[in-house]
Amino acid sequence: MTGVATTRAELAAARAGLSAPVVLVPTMGALHSGHRSLLQQASEIAGTSGSVVVTIFVNPRQFGPNEDLDRYPRTLDDDLALCAEEGVALVFAPAVREIYPADPLVTVDPGPAGQVLEGEFRPGFFGGVLTVVLKLFALTRPDVAVFGQKDAQQLALVRQMSADFNLGVEVIPVPTFRDPDGLAASSRNRYLSGAERAVALTLPTALQAGLAEAKEGPLAVLAAARALLDPAPLVLDYLALVDAQTFAPAGAAFTGTALLLVAARVGSTRLIDNVIVGFGDSVERGN
Distance CA 51, CA 142 (A): 10
Distance CA 142, CA 15 (A): 10
Provide the β-strand partners of residue 238. 263
Beta carbon nearer to ligand AMP, 177 or 254: 177
Query: How near is the Cβ of 38 to ligand AMP at its closest, in Å?
Result: 5
Beta carbon nearer to ligand AMP, 76 or 219: 76
Query: How near is the Cβ of 177 to ligand AMP at its closest, in Å?
Result: 4
Distance CA 202, CA 232 (A): 7
| Residue 286 near residue 179 (C-beta atoms within 8 A) | no
Query: How near is the Cβ of 216 to ligand AMP at its closest, in Å?
Result: 28
Task: Compute φ and ψ for 261, nearest 5 degrees.
Answer: -120, 145
Query: How near is the Cβ of 280 to ligand AMP at its closest, in Å?
Result: 27
Beta carbon nearer to ligand AMP, 36 or 226: 36
Closest residue to ligand AMP: CB criterion: 148
Distance CA 277, CA 229 (A): 18
Phi/psi-derived region of residue 132, left when phi > 0, alpha when psi is between -120 and 50, beta in every other case? alpha
Question: In angstroms, what CA-CA distances link 205 with 141, 152, 225, 273?
Answer: 39, 18, 8, 11
Query: How near is the Cβ of 28 to ligand AMP at its closest, in Å?
Result: 4
Task: Compute φ and ψ for 262, nearest 5 degrees.
Answer: -135, 145
Q: Which amino acid is at 150?
A: K
Beta carbon nearer to ligand AMP, 3 or 148: 148
For ligand AMP, the binding residues (CB under 6 A) are 27-28, 34-35, 37-38, 147-148, 150-151, 174, 176-177, 184-187
Beta carbon nearer to ligand AMP, 125 or 147: 147
- What's the first-to-final CA gap in the chain, in angstroms? 33
Beta carbon nearer to ligand AMP, 147 or 279: 147
Query: How near is the Cβ of 13 to ligand AMP at its closest, in Å?
Result: 25
Catalytic entry in 35, 61, 122, 135? 35
* Residue 35 designated active-site: yes
For the chain, where are the alpha helices, taking DSSP H only? 8-16, 33-46, 76-85, 96-99, 118-121, 125-140, 152-164, 194-200, 202-211, 218-229
75 Cβ contact list (under 8 Å, min separation 6): 29, 30, 31
Residues catalogued as catalytic: 35
